[in-house]
């Protein structure tokens, strides 16, 4: 149950985030749908690949697919003056997608008895896979790798689940809220991780 809800939230969030990026890049209507769909399902496809579930299991998600299409349509119908006022929505939805998919990826990997390091990697790549594909297709610098705190939160997710700290539904939903909040705080206040420069000078 928790599972499906998290998948659904992540799917909507990433579909919307892809659609917003596509609108920012002035793609046509179909391009908006495509980028939304790819962002929403790219994370799941990479997760399936990484943990040994057939990628074709995606096809069973007919409901999710329709939800994604609906979300994208809703975003497109949204009045422009609201959307532009809220361009940070792109980041916000990305944050929700990150935390829900990171949790879900970590749960999957735990269930398959993968070791802790694998749970963490699964959380990071599931949470950021869709966003990486989105940024690559839109020819942007992948958000994940920018000097902004992003993947740290997915690592936290993976550790919390892999170490058995978050197990029950209530704990997982709390984790979801905490991780989303941390991501929102980190881009709002521009928290940075240290950079190791090669030091030209």
- 163 or 192: whose CB is closer to a copy of itself? 192
Residue 49 binds a copy of itself, judged by CB under 8 A? yes
Residue 58 binds a copy of itself, judged by CB under 8 A? yes
Confirm if 46 and 129 have CB atoms less than 8 A apart: yes
Helix, strand, or coil (residue 78): coil
Residues in contact with a copy of itself, shown as a per-residue x/- string from 172 to 201 under the rule CB under 8 A: --------------------xxxxxxxxx-
Residue 74 binds a copy of itself, judged by CB under 8 A? no
Residue 156 binds a copy of itself, judged by CB under 8 A? no
Find all residues with CB under 8 Å of 73, minimum gap 6, and list them. Answer: none
Confirm if 123 and 66 have CB atoms less than 8 A apart: no
Using the contact rule CB under 8 A, the part of the chain among 26-34, 91-99, 159-167, 178-186 near a copy of itself is: 26-34
Burial group, residue 108, by CB count within 10 angstroms (0-12, 13-18, 19+)? buried
Q: Applying CB under 8 A, what is the total number of residues that bind a copy of itself?
A: 67
Report in angstroms the alpha-carbon separations of 183 from 109, 141, 154, 177, 190.
Answer: 23, 18, 10, 10, 10
Q: How many residues does the chain have?
A: 201
Give the binding site for a copy of itself (CB under 8 A). 22-32, 34-35, 37, 45, 49-52, 54-56, 58-59, 62, 65-66, 76, 80-81, 83-84, 87, 109, 112, 114-115, 117-118, 121, 124, 132, 136-139, 141-142, 144-152, 155, 192-200
């Amino acid at each position: 149950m928790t599972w499906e809800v998290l998948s659904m939230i992540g799917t909507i969030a990433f579909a919307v985030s892809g659609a917003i990026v596509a609108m920012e890049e002035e793609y046509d209507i179909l391009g908006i749908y495509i980028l939304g769909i790819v962002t929403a399902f790219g994370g799941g496809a990479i997760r399936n690949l990484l943990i040994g579930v057939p990628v074709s299991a995606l096809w069973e998600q007919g409901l999710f697919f329709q939800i994604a299409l609906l979300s994208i349509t809703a975003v497109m119908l949204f009045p422009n003056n609201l959307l532009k006022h809220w361009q940070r929505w792109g980041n916000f939805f990305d944050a929700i997608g990150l935390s829900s998919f990171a949790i879900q990826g970590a749960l999957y990997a735990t269930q398959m008895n993968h070791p802790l390091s694998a749970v963490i990697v699964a959380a990071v790549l599931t949470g950021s896979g869709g966003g990486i594909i989105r940024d690559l297709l839109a020819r942007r610098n992948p958000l994940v790798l920018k000097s902004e705190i992003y993947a740290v939160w997915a690592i936290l997710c993976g550790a919390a689940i892999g170490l058995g700290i978050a197990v029950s539904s209530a704990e997982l939903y709390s984790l979801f809220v905490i991780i989303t909040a941390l991501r929102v705080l980190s881009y709002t206040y521009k928290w940075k991780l240290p950079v190791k420069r090669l030091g030209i000078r």
